[in-house]
Chains A and B, each alone.
Chain A
Amino acid sequence: MNMTATLGDNAAMTKTTASATESTAIESSSDAGIEEGKTVGKPYAAKEPKFKLRDVEVFYGADRAIKNVSLDIGKNEVIAFIGPSGCGKSTFLRCLNRMNDSIDICKVKGSLQLDDQDIYDPRQDVVELRARVGMVFQKPNPFPKSIYDNVAYGPRIHGLANRKSDLDEIVENSLRKAGLWDEVKDRLDSTATGMSGGQQQRLCIARTIAVNPEVVLMDEPCSALDPIATAKVEELISELSESYTIVIVTHSMQQASRVSDRTAYFHLGHLVEVNDTVKVFTAPEHHMTEAYITGRFG
């Protein structure tokens, strides 16, 4: 384990007793310094909680992937989930619109509420939930159809537009919001898979917001994009945050610090720390958070 390069002259280092040997110990022993269900910082700080999540546990068979996580997500807030690979941030994100349903061995426990409505209530229709909580995925996944049909698909299946002109309007608005309209307005009928990766991802965002959801979940939306495309998508996230609640999972701490209001740090299924993004990146309260954001592991 060679981490001396990143340790260097980091001032924050003095706060913990972290040394190369100790951080090795942190990684190998699963729960070092983390108390289950105890989250440092401000997990319930949101003024108007959109999501109220309490004691959430997710099991993959016998594996406990999410351990006793409680968190509020505010309305029109951008919250970023960060953490090392396999820490459960994507799993947790997918609970918010029940994308885990299709995995047979996946079981979710605890209370997950969207506007005081239980997400995992058997009476909760998953189609309705996903119309309210849209999702953008890691790899751009446009349908192998035309650009227009991609954006129009959601409104069509939900019956949001009765007339062709209404549908055209929704498509145009969504593409405008996604900053893609000027690039594609002359070729709405050409196939979406012929676009560049960044354009495809913005098209996927346009497709998601065409349904006019309340929440947009983003699972590492920029990990397959180059820096310029990433910058465009980040800009888009900032604009969208005015009208949508956005939950974004990211591997890039710079991205989290650029786009989010609050940041949640996950570690091996625990929610270690949640705080205002500025606070997390300048003065993290938990030594694990600090070790991660200073690049000692992850």
Chain B
Amino acid sequence: MTEHLSQAEIVRKSLKKRYRKEKRFRAYGILAIMIALSALLILFTDIISKGYSGFMKTSLNLEVVLDGEVMYLDDPTDPRQIKMADFVEPLVQALMQEIPGVTDANREAVRKLINPYASAELRDVLKENPDWLNTTREMSFLAHSDVDVYSKHAGDKAYSIKLSPQQQEWVDMLKAKGVIETSFNDVFFKGGDSRDPAKAGIMGAVVGSLLTMFVTLVLSFPIGVAAAIYLEEFAPKNRLTDFIEVNINNLAAVPSIIFGLLGLAVFINLFGMPRSVPVVGGMVLTLMTLPTIIISSRAAIKSVPPSIREAAEGIGASKMQVVLHHVLPLAMPGMLTGSIIGMAQALGETAPLLLIGMVAFIVDVPGGFFDSATVLPVQVFLWAGSPELAFIERASAAIMVLLSFLIGMNALAIWLRKRLERRW
């Protein structure tokens, strides 16, 4: 009896220690999660706080006198005249109208508040509406990107260095008058890249990304799934298949830039395919994504319960029927999830695309698989390296767009898995 008691005592004594250990372990876990979460939080706050203003544009609402004399223009339908005409002057005059006490000596300073592309906009408007000549119109033009960042970050010294104190005064005054106005940045979502931040958009990169992803998906999913099915179901287990398996795992760990070099050497130099095009980008990303898809598809096939396989074999289903009727439908959710995660990885990939020339400065939105294009992460890379202040927020805004695509793809993966699983 005494022995019994002492044993209970021993257990009780150790209990405290054991529970302490458990508590400590739990604390470590919570700490680890906190670190991860705070890193994520910092990342998001930084990007969003820097980037939200990228979704806004600054424009000038001007009453422009479209005087033919000033523009040296009689007939807007004549292409030669349109080419020679001066579309800057009416804008400068209109803006000077809004600034009291401005003199001709300040003409250059005033002109620098207007976006360099505004005159081209005015030209296009006149080309379309020739009857507007010699009338006065209320029109809205993009402000210069220096004005853009200054007015968005009022009071921040870092953003005002490009404007003289006098210009800053004017901008403040024009803002108060309502001539300078910030609104939703439709230009950012409509256009391609530009040297001028105020004019730069991500549409070209988004379309480039979509085209590249499409090529990647069309190539990598069927090839990856077919390879996984063959390796898992049909291949004999011997040295050769072991070797193949090891190498597929190795490929998954190869730095992506190596795939870019391979694409450059093989697709472009050897096969003579064009540079900077989504087809080649998609093929390079296919090489990169294949191991991921093969590995996850094989895992999905392996997880199909052997009892289902046996049941089908027991009735006399052939190998192909077992695979097509039973294994594939059951493995499909896992295969899709793996593929979408692989695709998301490919969507965020920059390095291999730099080597095949998708880093070029491309203004036009690509219209097809053989048009020069760039992709979202490369666009971020390009803008992040630009000296103009306004590109900082454009880059952050582009990161947000990229992240929302990635989150969307992951959500799609989860939704697909849930949906397909329920069916079975």
Contacts and interface: CB of A to CB of B under 8 A. Distances in A.
Interface of A: 97, 99, 102, 104, 127-131, 134-137, 139, 141-144, 153-154, 157-158, 204, 207-208, 211
Given A144-B330, A157-B321, A97 B311 contact: no
B326 A137 contact: no
A129 B317 CA distance: 11
B27 interface: no
Contact of B316 (A136, A137, A139, A154): A154
A99 B237 contact: no
A11 B382 CA distance: 94
A208 B314 contact: yes
Interface string B303-327: 0010110111111111001000110
A101 to B, nearest CB: 9
Q: Assign chain B's interface to a size class.
A: 10 to 19
A91 B353 CA distance: 56
Contacts of A153: 312, 315, 317, 325
13 contacts: A99-B310, A99-B314, A102-B313, A127-B316, A128-B316, A130-B315, A141-B308, A143-B312, A143-B326, A153-B315, A204-B311, A208-B315, A211-B315
B310 A141 contact: yes
Interface string B403-424: 0000000000000000000001
A134 B311 contact: no
Contact of B315 (A102, A104, A144, A154): A154
Given A104-B237, A144-B330, A157-B321, A130 B314 contact: yes
Contacts of B305: 141
A97 B310 CA distance: 12
Contacts of B325: 153, 157
Contacts of A207: 311, 315
A130 B313 contact: yes
B308 A134 contact: no
Given A143-B311, A157-B321, A204-B311, 4 more contacts: A99-B310, A99-B314, A127-B317, A154-B316
A142 B321 CA distance: 16
A104 B236 CA distance: 9
B311 A144 contact: no
Interface string B219-252: 0000000000000000011000000000000000
A208 to B, nearest CB: 7
Nearest to B236: A104
A141 B311 contact: yes
A135 B237 CA distance: 27
Given A139-B307, A141-B307, A144-B424, A127 B312 contact: no
Most chain-A Cβ atoms within 10 A of its Cβ — which of B313, B314, B317, B321? B314
Contact of A157 (B311, B314, B316, B330): B316
Given A104-B237, A143-B326, A144-B330, A211 B311 contact: no
Contacts of A139: 307
A151 B308 CA distance: 14
What are the 10 A-B residue pairs with the smallest beta carbon separation, nearest first? Answer: A130-B316, A135-B314, A141-B307, A131-B316, A154-B315, A141-B311, A144-B424, A127-B318, A127-B316, A157-B321
Contacts of B237: 104
B311 A142 contact: yes
B315 A137 contact: no
Contacts of A137: 307, 310-311, 314
Nearest to A191: B424
A127 B315 CA distance: 8
Given A137-B310, A142-B311, A211 B316 contact: yes
